[in-house]
Amino acid sequence: MKSTKSKNFHNAPRRRRRPPRLDPARVNAFRRRLVSWYGRHGRDLPWRHTHDPYEILVSEIMLQQTQVGRVLEYYPRFLARYPTAAYLASASASAVRDAWEGLGYYRRAQNLHRTARLITREHGGRFPAEPADLAKLPGIGRYTAAAVASFAYGAHAAILDTNAARVLQRVFGPGRRRGRESRLWAVAEHVVPRGRSYDFNQAIMDLGATICTARRPACPRCPVRGACDAFRRGWFQDARSPRSRTSRKTR
Ligand code: SF4
């Protein structure tokens, strides 16, 4: 199951950065294998059956600090109670708190509620399609804005959550810590393929959640191992992370 999404990547400011120098053949192989694997092994999640920006936003906000399994339980219940931004906008703060009870980090519900009110009162009920406009709404950072634009509107937008960041770090630049976050955003923007951003973005999050996991990446069955720098360097030959190998050696 997908892990929760890191806050660090959510609110990263957008800075102009030179495109990274990556081998085009490796980038193409990575894209092709990833998207093809997703076609066969992508997880069937309820928010992947909709292009409604409100429904996608609800899922993204819930996933920010809650495990997928728990979100699967709450998501349909919340949407049954508040099926549109207008319904949510008209609810009282205490009713929204009740509906969120059990998910924790109640501030997320407050922001979602404020966003629903803004959308209803100031945007005529329509969510903006541009990531830059979405990012002006309460509680919507860079990652969430790009996710809504990509998953609801099919916009060409790169995403970077914890899972995607781990995959990109291992495939295209293991070992370099300085400026990692802005470099990873630049890599994400560079590798997302035009016209396939929806599948690519969903695929990279799934790969990070199910195969390229933090502690025990399953490299032998990874579809992108042929393009992966960490795999080429033999980092995960014994299925332990470099950190765990180092600490064992140190001990
Ligand atoms: S080969 Fe291993 S380290 Fe590289 S992306 Fe796949 S699972 Fe992750």
pLDDT tens figures, 71-128: 999 999 999 999 999 999 999 999 999 999 999 999 999 999 999 999 999 999 999 9
Q: Where are the domains of the chain?
A: 7-43+157-240, 52-153
DSSP for 79-99, written as a single string: HHH--SHHHHHHS-HHHHHHH
- Do 218 and 211 meet the contact criterion of CB atoms below 8 Å apart? yes
5, 49, 128, 228 from 172: Cα distances, Å: 21, 31, 32, 7
- Distance from the alpha carbon of residue 213 to the mean position of ligand 1, in angstroms: 8
- Do 69 and 1 meet the contact criterion of CB atoms below 8 Å apart? yes
Dump pLDDT digits (tens) for 161-190: 999 999 999 999 855 666 788 899 999 999
- The pTM (predicted TM-score) of the whole model is 0.86
- At 42, the pLDDT band (50, 70, 90 cuts) reads very high
Instruction: Answer whether 7-43+157-240 and 52-153 agree in fold.
Output: no
**Mean confidence (pLDDT) of the chain:** 89
Tell me, rounded to whole angstroms, the distance of Cα 172 from its chain centroid: 18
Model pLDDT, residue 175 = 57
7-16, 84-93, 231-240: the lowest-pLDDT one: 7-16
Q: Which residues line ligand 1 (CB under 6 A)?
A: 167, 170-171, 211-212, 217-219, 222, 224-225, 228, 230-231, 236
- At 196, the pLDDT band (50, 70, 90 cuts) reads very high
Distance of alpha carbon 81 from alpha carbon 4, whole angstroms: 24
CATH code for the structural domain at 52-153:
1.10.340.30
Half-sphere exposure of 88 (CA within 13 A, CB side): 28
Torsion of CA 90, 93, 99, 105, to 10 degrees: 130
Q: Which amino acid is at 200?
A: F
Residues known to be catalytic: 60
Distance of alpha carbon 105 from alpha carbon 37, whole angstroms: 34
Q: Which amino acid is at 122?
A: E
CATH code for the structural domain at 7-43+157-240:
1.10.1670.10
Q: Which of 187, 215, 228 to mutate to test the pocket of ligand 1 (most atoms within 8 A of CB)?
A: 228
